[in-house]
Amino acid sequence: MSLKNYLSILLIGAVIALAACKKNKKSDDPAPPTQEESLKLDLAGVVAGKANVAMDSTFTFQVKITSKVPDKGVKITLNVVTDPGGIPLDQDAVPDATGNVINVTLKHLKEVKTYKVTVTVASLGNTANIATPLEFLITNKAG
């Protein structure tokens, strides 16, 4: 074989080796989700699954996280609808939280109307970690 053939084979081998090294160093796999304790919560100031009474157009209750709070915190989502009827009642967004106790204030409750409130808590660090939603009824008795 000529020197030219040896150099071609050597060059092809070097290119293959470099390509193999680059593939080993590059990782297309996303990072696995953060391992967290499953979220569990309780409500304070209301009884889940029961009728509760507000004496004004606003009402404050607490979401108590009874499991370990994720490092990045949690997002609380409220769904407030008339009961019966299911007409949505807009609420202010609850700020993301890193503590075990979060105060939540419902607003714009109309007099002598009942609302079904669903509270959902999800981890900000692991989208698969969502607590079982809790529901309660609230009636504004002002008037």
C-alpha closest to that of 69 among 121, 15, 118: 121
pLDDT of amino acid 9: 72
Dihedrals phi, psi of 109, to nearest 5 degrees = -70, 125
Calpha distance 79→94 (Å, rounded): 11
Q: Which structural domains are found in the chain, ordered by start?
A: 41-140 (2.60.40.10)
**What's the whole-model pTM score?**
0.74
Mean pLDDT, each 10-residue run in order, the chain (143 residues):
64 69 58 78 91 94 95 96 94 95 96 95 94 96 78
